């Protein structure tokens, strides 16, 4: 179940480019294509954008491709996103791109556990550096929440920690935002998943409903609510 949730997660992290002007239009287009699992559109956006916008499109493409069973496409998209983000990291450290890079590494591990020994350390380092640069960045807390949820308890994962971190992200979304602002719906969705794992089914439903209040077309929250309704009807 957790593998499916990770594969279908729309909580993954996006940001802006160092070299190019941040584009809300590009991010919005990528989000819309990802919500409808429009692989052709995501491929087009991956080819027509650059720097962070391109890496974000590639990451969303990887998620959609994986959900639809196109693993080779998912792998290649993640590799491209990793290359782009590592190049940006080398030129100038930035909390947003480091958070996305941490998520890229995390998904690569999810698709191939054998990469965990190397990429796990890289993912942890990237998010630690991001937090050092911007301690109050909501997306940094969100990435940490996702990691806490998906990491086995034996290796430091914790549902309670995932819930706490997602709550911290939600609180930070109330702060003024300059540039690209996203991720609030994802934070509610991940907190709902952590609550579900902790036995708070009603709290999970309320969080998923709140995610849809934040972003009405957020497909993952809709899926989880529908799934819950189907299970309750049995």
User: What's the pTM?
Assistant: 0.83
Pick from 150, 151, 129: nearest CA to 140: 129
* Separation CA 3–CA 198 (nearest Å): 18
Torsion 87-88-91-93 (CA) sign: negative
The tokens describing 111, both together, are 């698709």
> Is the confidence at residue 201, as pLDDT, over 80?
yes
User: Per-residue pLDDT tens for 104-156?
Assistant: 999 999 899 899 889 999 999 999 999 999 999 999 999 999 999 988 888 88
Extents of the domains making up the chain: 2-233
CATH number of the structural domain 2-233: 1.25.40.10
User: Which of 1-5, 180-184, 223-227 has the highest average model confidence (pLDDT)?
Assistant: 223-227
Which candidate, 154, 127, 156, 129, places its Cα nearest to that of 142?
127
Note the pLDDT of residue 159. Answer: 97
Q: Which residues contact 91 (CB under 8 A, 6 or more apart)?
A: 18, 19
Please provide the average confidence, as pLDDT, over all residues in the chain: 87
Q: What is the pLDDT of residue 15?
A: 35
Q: Which tokens in the block code for residue 89?
A: 């990291």
Q: How far apart are alpha carbons 201 and 114 in whole angstroms?
A: 33
């Amino acid at each position: 179940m957790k593998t499916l949730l990770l594969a279908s997660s729309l909580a993954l992290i996006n940001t802006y480019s160092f070299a190019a002007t941040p584009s809300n239009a590009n991010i919005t287009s990528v989000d819309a294509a990802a919500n409808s699992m429009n692989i052709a559109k995501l491929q087009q956006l991956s080819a027509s954008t650059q720097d962070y916008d391109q890496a974000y499109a590639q990451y969303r493409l990887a998620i959609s491709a994986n959900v639809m069973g196109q693993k080779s496409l998912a792998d290649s998209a993640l590799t491209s996103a990793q290359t782009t983000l590592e190049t940006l990291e080398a030129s100038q450290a930035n909390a947003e791109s480091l958070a996305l890079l941490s998520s890229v590494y995390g998904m690569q591990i999810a698709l191939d556990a054998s990469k965990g020994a190397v990429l796990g350390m890289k993912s942890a380092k990237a998010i630690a550096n991001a937090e050092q640069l911007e301690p109050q960045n909501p997306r940094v807390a969100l990435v940490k929440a996702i990691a806490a949820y998906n990491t086995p308890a034996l290796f430091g994962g914790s549902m309670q920690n995932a819930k706490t971190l997602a709550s911290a992200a939600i609180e930070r979304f109330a702060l003024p935002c300059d540039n690209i602002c996203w991720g609030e719906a994802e934070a509610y969705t991940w907190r709902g998943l952590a609550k579900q794992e902790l036995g708070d089914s009603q709290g999970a439903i309320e969080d998923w409903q709140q995610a849809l209040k934040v972003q009405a077309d957020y497909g993952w929250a809709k899926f989880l609510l529908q799934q819950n309704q189907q299970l309750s009807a049995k």
